[in-house]
Chains A and B, each alone.
Chain A
Amino acid sequence: MAGNAAIDLTSPPRQEVESVVIRFSGDSGDGIQMTGGRFTDTTALAGNDLATFPDFPAEIRAPAGTTYGVSAFQINFGARDIKTSGDAPDILIALNAAALAVEIPDLKPGGVVIVNTGGLTEKNLRKAGFEGNPLEDGTLSNFRVIAIDISKLTMEAVKNSGLKRKDALRCKNLYTLGLVYWMYDRDRQPTIDWLNKRFASHPELAAANVAALNAGHAFGETAEMADGITPYTVAPSHFAPGEYRTVHGAEATAWGLIVGTHLAGVDLVFSSYPITPASGVLHALARLKHFGVITFQAEDEIAAICAAIGASFAGSLGVTSSSGPGMALKTEALGLAISAELPLVVINSQRAGPSTGMPTKTEQSDLFQAVFGRNGDSPLAVLAARSPSDCFEVVIEAVRIATKYMTPVIVLTDTYIANAAEPWLIPDLDRLTPFPVEFRTDPEGFHPYLRDERTLGRAWAVPGTPGLEHRIGALEKDYDTGNISYDPANHQRMTDARGAKISGIADDIPLQAVEVGEESGRLCVVGWGSTYGPIARAVGNLREEGHLVSHIHLRHIWPLPRNLVRLLRGFDKILVPEMNTGQLLTLLRAEALVPAEGLSSVTGKPFRISAIEEAIRLRLGG
């Protein structure tokens, strides 16, 4: 079947498209995430802008063929700049019946669906909830269907590999990838190189996977497709000059921590406990020991943050990371870091809650927890990353604030940001400004709560320094000596000092910029975190139609930028789309006393651009 490319002399003309959304889907054991990852790298190398959305179940290997075991990977790529992983796919690949059942409602009308008929056995169809055969009963009548037996064709392609049937069948994701590569005119070589490296110790697996990839590609070249199905060309995007790579949020966070502590001139002790979706940062840093990074997998979330605090006390920068439930466990220790006034960076990769919630699904519902969620008056700084690559800059900023102000800083990312990938203009590290910490060494006039007059940060005096021996703790301290104090006026003074220190950070961060649009007017859309993409695209689309709508996107959640209240008050209407039920909304109403309105979505998936567009239109009066 596969080897007859030579007789194909009439390749159909390629249709040029500006951007495409593809969703790969199959069983959680089908290698869908790997397939998506390969397509992402290849597409980046082809010069397209892109955004991805891996969407997988919490179960590692859910029972085969079940709808809850479906794993999906969506990529939006194009010649224009790409801001989201896309609302609805143009092309859906479904490797089994359950994937078809789960994903088909999202496919654009008229979209292409590539169905593996080998995955539509009667048993699979029944498990997926189909009563008949969807290929025949009109279920797919609104779509252009490519129905091929990928299972069988894969088996044929790798029949000489010597692999057992089960292992041979596992190559069907590569067969599918080959077919999609043909469809979008992608170069197979980077994937072949990757497979050879990945399976270096199992050359027979590498050979079989390469054979499947090539066979899928050859099928596209030779097979006669149904009417309306043509291969496409997506021209390279217009990127600013420079060197690029793709980056995931977890990687960008890990690298930001290494670079940030390098700029601060302190060692990094990263102390964490495994939790979805935050573990990627621990994994990334554990492989970077040659940079002197110490990673510590603690016995629980509490030990993780406490060891980080201990490391900061001893003069390293302690960093911990988690997700919602783990953040809840860290709460008391966060109070200790606030009271002891030690630098600490805490990364929260938010996921759907409450409680265990939906561990692999995205949400941004921990804003209240980050800003307010502790006993006592316990202020700290909160930052939020808007995209995978933005984690790099935000984390460096967190390191700067933590070490300069001797305070914990919480960085909010989310499942989407942690797992998604996008192209990134690799920064020139030599151009970043260092912010070296100054440890106290002078015993003259020293006490542990001696504050810098400007920042109000206390002196960082590290054990091992002669003459600066001191005791600190979570009991209230005397403002002038650092000794334990229960004095009423002193507690007022210390509470005020802790508050003033954090609110003073607002003088040390950039004024809030307006992403696009006017600085005042009828309507402003205000967002934070990973809603950046859909808001930016929605606002951009409406501005192209001539509507006057502005977009403000916050990086600094607490303290808020000094000019934010003034900016907000310049708009008649404010719309705050959030993947929660209105947390930034409440904060902005309280701080700015503006009649902002919320737009809530808690589906475990990123916002749809269309939902935000609709909400904007409604407020602009159509």
Chain B
Amino acid sequence: MTVVTVPDTMTPKDFASDQEVRWCPGCGDYAILKAVYKTLADVAVPRSDVVFVSGIGCSSRFPYHVSSYGFHTIHGRAPAVATGIKLANPDLSVWVVTGDGDGLSIGGNHMLHVLRRNVDLQILLFNNEIYGLTKGQFSPTSRVGTVSPSTPMGSIDNPVSPVAFALGSGARFAARSVDTMQRHLPMVLKRAHEHRGASFVEIFQNCIVYNDGIFDDFTDKEVADDNQIHLEHAKPLIFGKEGEERGIRLKPGVIELEVVRLGEGGIGVEDLLVHDETNRSLAVMLAAMAPPEFPMALGVLYCDPAPGYETLVRDQIEEAKARTPNGDLNALLREGYTWTVG
């Protein structure tokens, strides 16, 4: 068990390790690293109680650059390794860093199960819609038609939506942010940390070498206001430039969302949907929104906590101990029939 110490005030710098960061210049991972440092300083968990676990890929080099404990494992398996860490020591703050290939292709099965089990982890999926470390092949989140070394005529397989996948897997927390959003991202990460159970965060991350600008349709400054909606619990779903606000409502007569212009045809704020983080159906619909028809939903799409897996495991152990106190190994070996030879 961990010795709980009251941490001195930590600054983001304190979470930087002594290892040289080797991502490509301009890679979105640098911005995410900065946001993570800020979050760790804000949440003030002792460095020694923090573990970063990753698989393989550009994003998976992340643990080397955080001065906490870290485990750079094998391709796709970080959720399983992290589960073992939490089983052994539920008191640790465990963060999984993965990418679209690592987390949804080779490791898709583990992602599904870690989410449905609700293991208390922060899972940061850096989505850049491309395989970076293996030099630019299309990934499971690449849009149809992605031209890459392995798909010279364009990719033909449909992409998976990370947040929709998470919600379908039974995640109790699903959120989104963007690498460069240095105020928004730490806020989302902090929420992920506060949530007990599996917290799934999709971070849109720009790969400057193999997929540069792939998210420009909603991250570019020019279009951000019109193509992003920042979700806040219990607040109406409003977005758009000041004076040209638009909103999201349920289309009358069908189970579909639609974008409406405020003030047009008598539509007021009261006609819009109000964000409810505990409404899974709403979260699924918000996750499916994408430009140009819809804004990209950012922030906490869904948060409806339930006991974490490691807590339930420990509860069963305690219950078993209460039922059969004084577990005696000598007695264990003598359960059932024994006989004595004189």
**B94 vs chain A, min Cβ distance (A):** 9
Residue among B68, B110, B324 with the highest chain A CB neighbour number at 10 A: B110
- Which residues of chain B from 230 to 263 have any CB-CB distance to chain A below 8 Å in the complex? none
CB atoms of A429 and B69 under 8 A apart: no
Report chain B residues within 8 Å CB of A241.
340-342
Stretch at the interface among B77-85, B158-166, B204-212: B77-85
Give Cα A35–Cα B69 distance, bound, in whole angstroms: 54
CB atoms of A318 and B72 under 8 A apart: no
Is B92 an interface position by the 8 A CB rule? yes
How many residues of chain B are within 8 Å of chain A by beta carbon?
A: 64
Is A41 an interface position by the 8 A CB rule? yes
- Given A242-B340, A473-B63, A310-B71 contact (CB < 8 Å): yes
- Which residues of chain A from 435 to 484 have any CB-CB distance to chain B below 8 Å in the complex? 462-475, 483-484
CB atoms of A308 and B340 under 8 A apart: no
- Which residues of chain B from 20 to 50 have any CB-CB distance to chain A below 8 Å in the complex? 46-50
- B5, B49, B342: which contacts A463 (Cβ < 8 A)? B49
Is B221 an interface position by the 8 A CB rule? no
Is A333 an interface position by the 8 A CB rule? yes
- Which residues of chain A from 243 to 279 have any CB-CB distance to chain B below 8 Å in the complex? 243-246, 255, 258-259, 262, 267, 269, 271
Report chain A residues within 8 Å CB of B109.
299-300, 303
CB atoms of A472 and B70 under 8 A apart: yes
Stretch at the interface among B129-137, B281-289, B314-322: B314-322
Is B1 an interface position by the 8 A CB rule? yes
Give Cα A304–Cα B79 distance, bound, in whole angstroms: 11
Closest chain B residue to A308, Cβ basis: B84
**A395 vs chain B, min Cβ distance (A):** 13
Residue among A293, A303, A428 with the highest chain B CB neighbour number at 10 A: A303
Report chain A residues within 8 Å CB of B323.
290
- Given A289-B316, A474-B72, A464-B91 contact (CB < 8 Å): yes
Is B3 an interface position by the 8 A CB rule? yes
CB atoms of B329 and A258 under 8 A apart: yes
Give Cα A474–Cα B60 distance, bound, in whole angstroms: 12
Is B17 an interface position by the 8 A CB rule? yes
CB atoms of B71 and A426 under 8 A apart: no
Is A340 an interface position by the 8 A CB rule? yes
Is B265 an interface position by the 8 A CB rule? no
**A271 vs chain B, min Cβ distance (A):** 6
**A75 vs chain B, min Cβ distance (A):** 15
CB atoms of A299 and B88 under 8 A apart: no
**B163 vs chain A, min Cβ distance (A):** 21
Residue among B2, B17, B77 with the highest chain A CB neighbour number at 10 A: B77
- Given A290-B320, A292-B321, A469-B68 contact (CB < 8 Å): yes
Is B279 an interface position by the 8 A CB rule? no
Give Cα A268–Cα B16 distance, bound, in whole angstroms: 33
Give Cα A300–Cα B92 distance, bound, in whole angstroms: 25
Residue among B71, B82, B89, B342 with the highest chain A CB neighbour number at 10 A: B71
Closest chain A residue to B66, Cβ basis: A471
CB atoms of B73 and A473 under 8 A apart: yes
- Given A244-B338, A302-B80, A469-B92 contact (CB < 8 Å): no
Give Cα A423–Cα B63 distance, bound, in whole angstroms: 51
Report chain B residues within 8 Å CB of A332.
74
Is A412 an interface position by the 8 A CB rule? no
**A87 vs chain B, min Cβ distance (A):** 27
Is B177 an interface position by the 8 A CB rule? no
- Given A463-B89, A473-B63, A310-B83 contact (CB < 8 Å): yes
- Which residues of chain A from 70 to 111 have any CB-CB distance to chain B below 8 Å in the complex? none
Report chain A residues within 8 Å CB of B53.
310
CB atoms of A290 and B327 under 8 A apart: yes
- Given A258-B329, A289-B316, A296-B81 contact (CB < 8 Å): no
- A302, A429, A465, A471: which contacts B17 (Cβ < 8 A)? A471
- B74, B110, B329, B341: which contacts A242 (Cβ < 8 A)? B341
Interface string of A340-357 (1 = CB under 8 A from B): 100000000000000000
- Which residues of chain A from 516 to 553 have any CB-CB distance to chain B below 8 Å in the complex? none
Is A239 an interface position by the 8 A CB rule? yes
Binding site for B on A (CB under 8 A): 41, 44-45, 47, 190, 239-246, 255, 258-259, 262, 267, 269, 271, 288-294, 296, 298-300, 302-304, 306-316, 318, 332-333, 335-336, 340, 426-430, 462-475, 483-484
Binding site for A on B (CB under 8 A): 1-3, 5, 17, 19, 46-53, 63-64, 66-74, 77, 79-89, 91-92, 109-110, 112-113, 313, 316-317, 320-321, 323-325, 327, 329-330, 332-334, 336-342
In order of increasing CB-CB distance, the 7 nearest A-B pairs are A310-B84, A473-B72, A307-B84, A471-B70, A306-B80, A464-B2, A289-B320
Could you list 14 examples of A-B contacts with CB < 8 Å? A243-B339, A267-B88, A290-B321, A292-B321, A294-B88, A299-B112, A313-B81, A463-B48, A464-B48, A464-B89, A466-B5, A469-B48, A469-B67, A472-B70
